[in-house]
Structure 1
Amino acid sequence: MKVTVDPDGCKGHGVCLTIAPEVFTLTDDGYAEAIADEVPTDSEGAVRDAVSNCPERAITLT
């Protein structure tokens, strides 16, 4: 499973970082980005929760 954050869609709420800090981080500008494209198997549930809770729907799983 791969995860990406749309840099134009993210508004920096940080919900994803709160839910899955092992997968997401905030840039110096305060916007979310994925630490790695490939989601670790043990983090898949948290990443799915982050996707469904992103207020801007800026996170995509493939």
Structure 2
Amino acid sequence: MKIVVDWDRCEANGVCVRAAPEAFSLDEKDQLSVLVENVTPGLRAKVEQAVRECPRQALALSED
């Protein structure tokens, strides 16, 4: 399972970072980075929470 970001929608407001800091980070210029290539089962619940809570609906999960 992979994280998909719609970069046109993402405002880098940090909601995903608070929900899943193991998977997302913001740099000093407030640019979002995805830290994991594949979502592990142990991280899945946090990433799903980040997807649900994204105020711009810029995140999704893909089975690819």
**What range describes the TM-score normalised by the shorter chain of this pair?**
0.7 to 0.9
Structure label with greater radius of gyration: 2
For residue 31 of structure 1, what is the amino acid of its counterpart?
Answer: Q
Contact 1:6–1:59 (8 Å) recurs in 2? yes
Paired residues in the alignment total 62
Instruction: Provide the aligned C-alpha RMSD in A.
Output: 1.3
Q: What residue ranges of structure 2 are gaps of 5+ in the alignment?
A: none
Q: How does 1:1-62 map to 2 (within 5 A)?
A: 1-62=1-62
* Structure 2: distance between partners of 1:41 and 1:31: 26
> Deviation of residue 13 (structure 1)?
1.1
- TM-score of the aligned structures, taking structure 1 as reference length: 0.86
- Give per-residue Cα distances to partners, 1:8-61, cap 9 Å, x unaligned: 211121000001000011144313231122112101001000000000000110
What percentage of residue pairs aligned between the two structures are identical? 35
Superposition TM-score, scaled by structure 2 size: 0.84
Structure 1 residues without counterparts, runs of 5 or longer: none
